[in-house]
Homo-oligomer: A and B are copies of this chain.
Amino acid sequence: MNDTSGRNDTSGLNGNRRLFLDTTVQHVLAAAALLVAEAAGAIDDERFDDWAQMFTDDCLYRITTRESRAKGWPIGLMHCDGAGMLRDRILSMRHANIFEAHHYRHMVSATRLAPGTKRAVDLNSGVQVHTNFEVIRIMGNGEMALFATGFFDDVVVSSDQGLQFRKRTVVLDSSRVDTLIVVPF
């Protein structure tokens, strides 16, 4: 189960903290953090095509909740297998959004290595990173509200297209989510 949240996994942490001082690791994490920030910015700007291009053709994109993940339930909220499915999903979202008067602002916290990561920080083979996030929804009348919080569990790789997501699992903190999620994370 290499997809764990790392709860109670302490084996890699001292290693992690040593890695912080390694300029190669800093370089990789800085690159990953920029990709995460760019993806968040693309959604906020409603540049969905740009967002989709940040994923590899064979990407796996999922949205789940903290509770589902902790209990090992199958992924339920959203599941896209490959860039084609992701683009189809986005296309339908864009059409839906035409009628929406609200938009979103993503805040991302500092990107860190996934718990337990020891030395596998090679962008060619893929690096697993976690990033906390929150999304604020701004309604057409100017009202703001906290829409969602959670963390991105990402695997990033370098490719001919530049740095990309090979895998993104969006883990939402709250199990109370809109049944029709029309915004990607």
Residues of A that sit less than 8 Å from B by CB: 5-10, 13-18, 20-21, 23, 26-27, 29-31, 33-38, 40-42, 44-47, 49-50, 53-54, 66, 103, 105-113, 115, 123, 130, 132-134, 136, 138, 141-146, 148-151, 158, 161-164, 173-177
Q: A109-B107, A144-B173 are in contact. Are A17 and B44 (CB under 8 A)?
A: no
Q: A37-B111, A138-B173 are in contact. Are A47 and B144 (CB under 8 A)?
A: no
Contacts of A163 in B (CB 8 A): 17-18, 20-21
Copies of this protein in the assembly total: 3
**Dominant SS at the A interface?**
mixed
Q: A109-B106, A174-B144 are in contact. Are A20 and B45 (CB under 8 A)?
A: no
Among A14, A20, A29, A112, residue most surrounded by chain B Cβ atoms (within 10 Å): A20
